[in-house]
Amino acid sequence: MSPPHGGRGDEAGGASVAGKTAQPAEKKDKTAQPAKAKGKQATQGEAGSSDAPAAAGAGRKHRLSAEDRRRDILEKSIAYFAQVGFDGGTRELARHLGTTQPLLYRYFPNKDALIQEIYKVVYLDQWRPAWDVLLEDRTRPLRERLQVFYEEYTDVILTPHWMRIYFFAGLKGVPINERYLALVEERILTRIIREFHRECGLPVPATVSPEDLEIAWDLQGGIFYYGVRKYVYRSPVHVEKPAMIAQALDVFFAGYKAVLSRRNGL
């Protein structure tokens, strides 16, 4: 038997109701699309905002403290002046350092202030208090003390940066050399002369004579010139540094004893 007409009508009616309800659903879906897009934008915005602190954090991670920045500028300035001398201005220096002139002036108000700090770091701060003790340690022969001292001392001064800055400063008239030479006479040469007299049983001079200082400079200058040949002229040296120091001390001890013997009628 065929089903009643009402059954078909119910099916048709159900279908039509389904169709009518489906249409608004489609419209709803269409209207929902901007919401999805908006949501997508929102999530992108959230992702962007979460990335921003990370990027900022990464920037902060590589940012130097004021103390580290000052040290970095100073170290790079030493390398720069060792290569080109002291003729360059702060503008060229800032360009070489990859920074700006105002930032450079924040740490060093002018070029002279920077040079004074270089002198302190490269020359004054390199002096070891233990050397003061060593040079006057009378429990050890003077010859032994000087061998140890000059081996350690030349480890500091006979370096490319030290030597080149020293010579560039002299050529430019920067007062680094004058101050350093006074330090050498006070801390090294005067002590050597006095300790030599004491070890020879001679009266220790309260003031070292210019003639005796020149003899001590012969020792100092000979050792220093070994570094000039090696690091400035880049010429070969013929013996290792400890052997060179030993030979220089042999000449100094023999020669100065002869001078003192003749001077004192010994």
What is the reported pTM?
0.72
Round to whole Å and give the CA distance between 129 and 126.
Answer: 10
168 versus 29: which is more confidently predicted?
168
The answer to whether the CB of 64 falls within 8 A of the CB of 54 is no
- Looking at residue 31, its pLDDT comes to 46
- Looking at residue 62, its pLDDT comes to 67
Nearest to 75 by CA among 161, 154, 169, 160: 161
pLDDT in tens, 172-223: 888 888 999 999 999 999 999 999 999 999 999 999 999 999 999 999 999 9
pLDDT in tens, 92-117: 999 988 889 999 999 999 999 999 99
Report the topology of domain 66-121: Arc Repressor Mutant, subunit A (1.10.10)
Q: Provide the residue ranges of all domains of the chain, joining segments of one domain with +.
A: 66-121, 126-264
Read off the tokens for 137.
């340690």
Helices (H), the chain: 5-62, 66-84, 90-97, 101-107, 111-119, 129-135, 142-157, 160-172, 176-184, 190-199, 210-227, 241-264
242 versus 164: which is more confidently predicted?
242
